[in-house]
Structure 1
Amino acid sequence: SKMIQLAYPTDSSLIISNEAVKAVAAMFKKGIKYKRAGVVVTGLVPTNNHQLHLFLQENPKHKPLMNAIDKLNGKYGDHKLKLANQDLKRTWKMRQERLSPRYTTNINDILKVK
């Protein structure tokens, strides 16, 4: 496993994905078959409550781009719009038989009372 600490808090999938790809590249060994990989995120902080970095700053174009991607995926379905380094020819599907309902984030999971 590999642990990376970002220079500043971010909610940009572009930055997180880029760092994850770098970590995998650093660990990758040719000739070894890999079954699965994942990313664990820790040290989460609220968007409006984090320490600013004096010299480093997130690209101001990332936030509107991430908002647009989230909006389009919300409208047309999850993962309709992807980053270029995501697996476009994925032949497997994540098992989600035990997935908890997402009452607060997915309109389709809200209970309906008649």
Structure 2
Amino acid sequence: MIAVGVIGALLAAMVGFLDLFAIPSGTPAFRTGLVHMTLNLLVTAAYVINFLWRYGDHTSGTGVGIGRLVLSALSVAVLGVSGFLGGKLAYRYGVRVADEATQAEGFTPHGTRRSTHTSA
């Protein structure tokens, strides 16, 4: 499962990398995006290390070991911080969020339409 997660993370990183460079540089959103990306890459590297560390022992029937558990716990903690920053990008800075007109469609009651013209 760790290997599948790493592959998924690398695929998501490619799309995220493109999203990052759509943000104007020098802005708080860009700086937040850089930290978000850096943390995600560090977590992915930690999971690769964790996978390789566990790979040889997966059939031995022994316990995981404290070092591997600590690495997993630290990875999850850093991933949580990165997730918070990703939420900040989307919900505070509006990165990769639909324009206001498209968002408004989600708050318009079903069956009613906004009219662009007025009647006389």
Same fold, TM-score > 0.5, yes or no:
no
- TM, length-normalised to structure 1: 0.26
Larger radius of gyration: 2
TM-score, L = length of structure 2: 0.25
Normalized per residue, the structure richer in helix is 2
Bigger RCO (CA 8 Å, 6+ sep): 2
